[in-house]
Amino acid sequence: MKIGILGAGRLGICFALLLEKAGYEIIASDIREDYVAILRAGLIKTTEPQVSNLLSKSKNITFVTDNFDVIKECDLIYTFVATPSLPDGSYDISCIRQIIKDFKGCDVEGKSLVIGCTTNPGDCDDFQNHLKPYGVDVYYNPEFIAQGSIIKDLEHADMVLVGGSGKHIQDIEKIYDNIQIETPNVYVMSRKAAELVKLAVNCYLTTKISYANMIGQVMHKSGMGEEIDNVLDAIGSDSRVGHKYLGYGFGFGGPCLPRDNRAFAACAKKLGLEYNLGHVTDSFNEEHSKFLLDYYVNNNPMGLPYAIGSIAYKRETDILTESQQYKLCLGLLDLGYKVYVVDNIVEHQCDSRINWSVPEEKVIWIDL
């Protein structure tokens, strides 16, 4: 089966490369002509593990700049286009709406569109309503991945989530049988329910992160900061809680968790639920960044410089989006402190006041 990919960005290219590795022929489009030229040459500048190696060996992916080439050639078509956040926290789906228009401009009877980017609950039903007269089935099939481990996360997903039904449902399930290392746990449900699951999972993770940081704050305020890890380990040993995401440190950041958290809050608010966890954890996350700044300043009576290993939202990535590490760094700089950052992978994006070197003077290391 020839599979189409609309949007070959960070996630789209990883998904395409894994599909090719599993034996599929792929046609992938992206509107950035210079980026497509780089992909065609088998080259890519990325910090994402395995991507450069897989791309250099790629032989069965055709890269194009026109969505129509993908839609005409393939029956099963995934899209990973951008859905940026709106001021109220919900997702801007205008890029997907453009893809819907592209479908209407082709002979698409019997084809399926699989939405892999995050949407608001109800959006995919709307897309299906638009494409049903054209004989197209719409599915919602988001990926649960993190930047810096996309390939690994796709191969070892805890869950495969599919919303919708139609002629290609078994083909979609088969794809994950082929790309995952372990047998996937597949959950099939309505499109709207699947959209809610995607947001709800990440909202729960932000709640768990915030809970762990709340415990840490209480421990620090009680003079027991040195026992935080042991206390959280004990709490996480209860099988009803678990250890994943239960560590004290920086708040949640990056391009996924904060946005999904706010989107879940926006969805709940539209339903009349004003007091919901999405708003609470987002507010706590903001306050926790202030707590950490105060903590490090109050524990530095000599006014020593600070040093931190990485200020990307996640180590070994080049992403500063909502990075709590970078936020702390900027807060210290604004207070007049000297700050060293050892990992210079994001240097070109950062404040010029940062010192990009291993410190040669006495410093306070920030290690959370």
Residues 182 and 244 in one domain: no
Residues 150 and 130 in one domain: yes
Residues 180 and 210 in one domain: no
Q: How far is CA 304 from CA 109, 333, 335, 336, 352, in A?
A: 67, 12, 12, 11, 19
Residues 357 and 213 in one domain: yes
Sign of the Cα pseudo-torsion (93, 68, 75, 48, in order): negative
Residues 176 and 154 in one domain: yes
The values of phi and psi at residue 340, to 5°, are -105, 140
Residues 168 and 203 in one domain: no
Last residue of a domain, one of 141, 165, 189: 189
Residues 7 and 82 in one domain: yes
Q: What is the rounded average pLDDT of the residues 27-40?
A: 96
Residues 94 and 236 in one domain: no
Q: Does the structure show a pLDDT above 90 at 279?
A: no
- pLDDT single digits (tens) 108-121: 999 999 999 999 99
- pLDDT single digits (tens) 70-105: 999 999 999 999 999 999 999 999 999 999 999 999
Q: What is the rounded average pLDDT of the residues 315-327?
A: 93
Q: How far is CA 304 from the centre of its chain?
A: 36
Residues 110 and 156 in one domain: yes
SS3 36: helix
Q: Specify the CATH number for the domain of residue 155.
A: 3.40.50.720
Residues 181 and 221 in one domain: no
Q: Does the structure show a pLDDT above 90 at 346?
A: yes
Q: Say how far apart CA 368 and CA 350 lie, in whole Å.
A: 21
Q: Is 158 exposed, middle or buried (0-12, 13-18, 19+ CB in 10 A)?
A: exposed
Residues 6 and 155 in one domain: yes
Domain that holds residue 92: 2-189
The values of phi and psi at residue 138, to 5°, are -110, 130
- pLDDT single digits (tens) 56-71: 999 999 999 999 999 9
Looking at the structure of the chain, the number of domains it has is: 2
Residues 137 and 203 in one domain: no
Q: Does the structure show a pLDDT above 80 at 206?
A: yes
Instruction: Supply the pLDDT for residue 227.
Output: 98
Instruction: Supply the pLDDT for residue 209.
Output: 98
Q: To the nearest whole percent, how much of the chain has pLDDT over 70?
A: 100
